[in-house]
Amino acid sequence: MPAEDPATAAAIRRHEERLTRDPRSLAFAQLADLYRKAGRVEEAVGLCRDGLARYPEYTTARLILAKSLMTQNAFSEALDELGAILKLAPRDVQCHRLAAEAHRKVGNLDAAVQHLEQAVALDPGDRESRALLPLLRAAPAGEGEAAAAREAPGLMRVLRDDTFVTLAFGTLCLEQGAIEEAAQVFTRILRREPHHQEARERLEQALRARARRKG
C-alpha cells in the first residue's frame, strides 16, 4: 500500500469525521475515492457497497466502486457496476471508456470495440478511444481490402498472413519496438482465442508501451 501524502491523509480524516457525525451523508463516495487513490482499495469497495445499499442510484459511488474493482482485477464485477450506470446514463462517456477497458482485459474485444465506438460517437474529440479502435478491430483483410493490404508498409503487409499471427512473432515485434504491429498480433490471437491469458497480458503490455511512447 502506498504511503498517504499529508494532504490526502488530512482529507481522509475530514471525510471520516463527517461520516461519523452523519452516517447517512453522501460523503461516503468522496471518502471511498480517497481510499482508492491512497491504495486502500478494500476499504473503498466496502464503503461503496455499504453506501449503495442506501442510495442505489448514486452513480458517482457506483463509478468509484467500478474503478476500485478494476484495481482488484475484478473485471466482471466492475462491468456489472458500469452496466448499471449506463442503464441510468447511457451517454456517460467515461463509463463507456472504462467498460471498453474491462472488456478488453478479459479478452472480450467485440464488446470493447462497441463501447469505444459509443465513446467516440458521444465525444468526437476522444483521440485515445479513436486510436484504440483500429488496434482492437485488427481483422484480416477481406477481398475488398486486398489492394490496400498490398500497399501497406512492409510489416503490416506481413501481418495480413495468419502464419505470422503467433505469440512468438507478436513478442518479437514488441521487443523490437513495433508496438502497433505487436498489438494487432495479440488482438488477432484473442479474436481466435478470447481466453488466451498470455495474449491478453501481452496486449496490455503493448498498450502500456504505446502509452509511454505517446506520453
3-state secondary structure of 156: helix
Give the residue from 2, 81, 59, 6 showing the smallest Cα distance to 36: 2
d(CA 94, CA 73): 18
Assess whether pLDDT exceeds 70 at residue 146: no
CB atoms within 10 A of CB 180: 17
Q: Which domains does the chain have, with CATH numbers?
A: 10-136 (1.25.40.10), 139-214 (no CATH)
Angle formed by the axes of helices 75-88 and 59-71, nearest 10°:
160
Q: What is the pLDDT of residues 111-140, one digit of tens each?
A: 999 999 999 999 999 999 999 998 898 754
pLDDT of residue 160: 65
Q: What is the pLDDT of residues 25-58, one digit of tens each?
A: 999 999 999 999 999 999 999 999 999 999 999 9
pLDDT of residue 145: 39
Q: Is this model's pTM higher than 0.95 or not? A: no
